[in-house]
Structure 1
Amino acid sequence: MGINEVRELLSSRTGPKTLSFDGSAGGPNTEEIVAALAYVPQGLGRELLQALWWPESGQRRREQLRQAVVALVAPEFTRQMHALADARTQFGIAKASMGWCGGVVTDAQRRELRRAEQALEDARVGAWPNNTMEQLGALAGAVIAEMAGSCECPRCGGRKVVRNGAVAGGGSCEHCGGSGFEPLSGRKRAGAIGADWSAYSRFWRTVYEWMLANFRAEESRAARQFSKVLTQAA
C-alpha cells in the first residue's frame, strides 16, 4: 500500500467504501486504522498525519502538535544563535588583537580579522530572525496549510526529478526544487504569515522553506511507517 493510499485511508476515517467479491468490506476498518496509527512513533510526523488527513483528531491534538513543532525548530534556532554569538566573539578577539598593546599590525592579524569578519557576516545571513519563536505559530499554520493544499508539480508530475539526457536517471526538478509539489509564490506565503513581500523575502523565506522541507520529510516518514504497519496487519 503506497503512502498516498494510506493518507486517503486515514482521511476516510471509516475505512474503504469498496466491497470484496464475497460482499464483505475490503481492507482495514476504522478500529484497525486507529490501532495502526498508534504504532507510528510519536513525534511531528504522526501529528502532521493527523492534522493533514484527520482534521477532527488533529484539532484534539493541537497541544501535541505544538510541542512537536517546537521540538523540531527550537534546537536549530538555538544552534544558529550560538553560532552567531561565537562568530561575534571571534571577531571581537581578532579586532582586539590588531596591534596588541601598541605593537605592529601584522599581515597575519589582518588576515584573521578579514576571516573573522566574513564568518560573522555569514552567521548573520544564515541566522533566522530573533523573534522566530514568537512567530512560530503563524509559520507552522501557514506551512501546514500549504501542505494540505499542495498539488503535484506540473513539471515533474510529483517525481521530484526530470529526465535529462546528460544526467543518469535525470536531474532534480528546478520548478519545485525537488519537492514534487507545486510551490506557492513568495507573495502568497508572505500573506499567509501576515508579512509583506519584502519582509518575507528578507527575513522569513529561509525559515519557512526549512520548516516546509522538514515538515514534509517528517510526514512522509510517518506515512511510510503507517503503511508498513497496515501492510503487516493485512
Structure 2
Amino acid sequence: MGNVRELLSSRMGPTTVKFDTGRGGTPDLTTQDIAAALAYVQDGLGRELLETLWWPESAARRRDYLRQGVIGLVAPEFNRQQVALSTARTEFGIAKASMGWGGGAVTDAQRKEVRRTELALELARAGTWPNNTMEQLGVLAGAVIDEMAMACPCKKCDGVRTQPAEDGLGVMRCDDCAGSGFEPLSGRKRAAAIGADCSAYSRFWQPVYVWMLGRMRALEEGAAAEFGRALTRAA
C-alpha cells in the first residue's frame, strides 16, 4: 500500500490536482475510500496524532480530542509516580521512627531497614517527574508533536531501527537512534522548544519528554498500521 501517511496527506488536504483518476485500468482509492478507512481506526491518541501530523485541517477541528488524549496518556503515569514517591517517603519515615522505639536499643535489622527504605526513596525521587508536569503538558506535547512532524530517518540505520551486530551475527538495535528509526534532536533544541535552558531540560524535563515521545510515536505508528489495513480492504 506504500506510505499510507503520505496518502492521507496528499488526498485529504486541500489541493488543485485531481488524484482520483484511474491509472492503467487499476482502480484507485478515492477520497471517500480514504475517509472511510480512517473511520475504522480506533479512537484515541494514536488516531489524533495521525491526523495532526498528516491531515492538519481535520486535526484543527479536533484539538479537544488531542488534548484529552495527551492528558489520558500522561496523567496516569504522573499519578503512579506520585503515589510511589509518597509510599516510599512514608516507609522511610516509619523505618526512622522505629529506630530505638521507646528508648530501646537500635538493632542492625533496624539500621538495614532504614538504609533500604532510604535507597528506595532516592530511587523514587529520581524516577518522579517535576511537580508542575501537568501544568506544562501543553508546551511539552507541542514540542513532542513538532519533533515528530520534522523527524528525519536516522543516518546510521536509515530508519530501519537496527544495525549489524558487532560480532557479525544478526542485527542489534541501532545505538544512534536507540531503535526509534529517527534522527534525535539535541537536548539544546528540545530545551529551546519547551522554553527551558539546557541544564533544566537535562535535569528535570528530559525523562518526561523522552517518555512522551516514545509512547506517542508508538501510538501513531499503531494507528497508521491500522489505517493501512483498512485501506487494503478498501482497495
**Which TM-score bucket, shorter chain as reference?**
over 0.9
Superposition deviation, residue 32 in structure 1: 1.0
**Matches of 1:45 and 1:170, distance apart in 2:** 29
- Is the CA contact 1:36–1:229 (under 8 Å) kept in the aligned structure 2? yes
Matched, 1:11 2:4: no
Match of 1:216 in 2: 217
Structure 1 residues 161 and 18: CA distance shift in structure 2, 3 A: farther
Read off the aligned partner of 1:147 and give its amino acid letter: M
Tell me, which stretches of 5 or more residues in structure 2 are unaligned?
Answer: 13-17
Structure 1: gaps of 5 or more residues? none
Counterpart of 1:145?
A: 146
TM-score, scaled relative to structure 2 = 0.94
Shift of 1:18: 7.1
Which residue of 2 is the match for residue 114 of structure 1? 115
Corresponding residue of 2:32: 31
Q: Are 1:21 and 2:10 an aligned pair?
A: no
User: Displacement of 1:170 after TM fit?
Assistant: 1.1
Instruction: Tell me the equivalent position of 2:85.
Output: 84
Counterpart for residue 156 of structure 1: 157
TM-score by length of 1: 0.95
Rounded Cα–Cα distance in structure 2 between residues aligned with 1:113 and 1:181: 44
Output one character per residue of 1:92-131: Cα deviation in whole Å (capped at 9) or x when no partner. Answer: 0000011111100000000000000000000000000000
- Relative to structure 1, is the Cα distance of residues 208 and 18 closer, same or farther in structure 2, using a 3 angstrom cutoff? farther
Could you tell me how far apart the structure 2 residues matched to 1:222 and 1:84 are? 34
Aligned residues: 230
Q: Report the Cα distance in structure 1 between the residues aligned to 2:128 and 2:62, rounded to whole angstroms.
A: 31
RMSD of aligned Cα (Å): 1.4
Alpha-carbon separation, structure 2, partners of 1:200 and 1:123: 19
Q: 1:46-195 maps to which residues of 2 (within 5 A)?
A: 46-166=47-167, 168-195=169-196
